[in-house]
Amino acid sequence: MKVYLATDHAGIRLADMVKDFLLKRGIEVESFLPQEAKVDYPDYAQKICKCVLNDEGSRGILICGTGIGMSISANRFKGIRAALCTDAYMAKMTRMHNDANVLCLGERLSGFGVVESILEAFLDTEFEGERHLSRIQKIELGGC
């Protein structure tokens, strides 16, 4: 599974740690890390969502200060199911029930020990399908 990773300026340290963790697990990573002192998180969310939508089976990881801006931005893209997770249970459940394809993290919220457990759960948990499939299809239909 390939992982696309991006952060805004508020998540660079966590993004470096996440990238190292993924590479040590032998996971292919393509990252988009800002060079400027301040950037806009929707621009980085857009990069990752486009990559994930064009590469079946891939996943995305988006980091900002809280993870909230990234999750709001990413969920505007049809076909993206982005989940902001602050613990491993949330990451496990969002894979099992929501088939989340993008994980959002907040550098200002989560220490790296917790993030490691979130990453393990997000990467290793399969979607349960069955009754959850029709719910996801309803999400894809969108609102008014």
State the catalytic residues.
64, 97
Cβ(74)–Cβ(48) below 8 Å:
yes
Burial state string for 74-104 with b = 16 or more CB within 10 A and e = fewer than 16: bbebeebbbbbbbebebbbbbbbebbbbbbb
Which residue in 68, 90, 109, 114 binds ligand RB5 (CB under 6 A)? 68
What pairs with residue 30 in β-bridges? Answer: 4
Q: Is 18 in the site for ligand RB5 (CB under 6 A)?
A: no
Q: Is 44 in the site for ligand RB5 (CB under 6 A)?
A: no
- Per the listing, tokens 């393509």 go with 30
Q: Nearest-CA neighbor of 12 among 33, 39, 41, 38? A: 33
The annotation status of 69 as a binding-site residue, yes or no, is yes
Q: Is 104 in the site for ligand RB5 (CB under 6 A)?
A: no
Q: Is 34 in the site for ligand RB5 (CB under 6 A)?
A: no
- Counting residues that bind ligand RB5 (by CB under 6 A) gives 8
The annotation status of 81 as a binding-site residue, yes or no, is no
Task: Tokens for 45, please give them.
Answer: 């969310």
The annotation status of 108 as a binding-site residue, yes or no, is yes
Q: Is 41 in the site for ligand RB5 (CB under 6 A)?
A: yes
Q: Is 65 in the site for ligand RB5 (CB under 6 A)?
A: yes
The annotation status of 131 as a binding-site residue, yes or no, is yes
Residue 2: other Cβ atoms inside 10 A: 15
- Within a 13 Å sphere around the CA of 121, how many CA atoms are in the beta-carbon half? 21
- Smallest separation, CB 12 to ligand RB5 (Å): 10
Give the binding site for ligand RB5 (CB under 6 A).
8, 10, 41, 64-66, 68-69
| Binding region | 8-9, 65-69, 98, 108, 131, 135
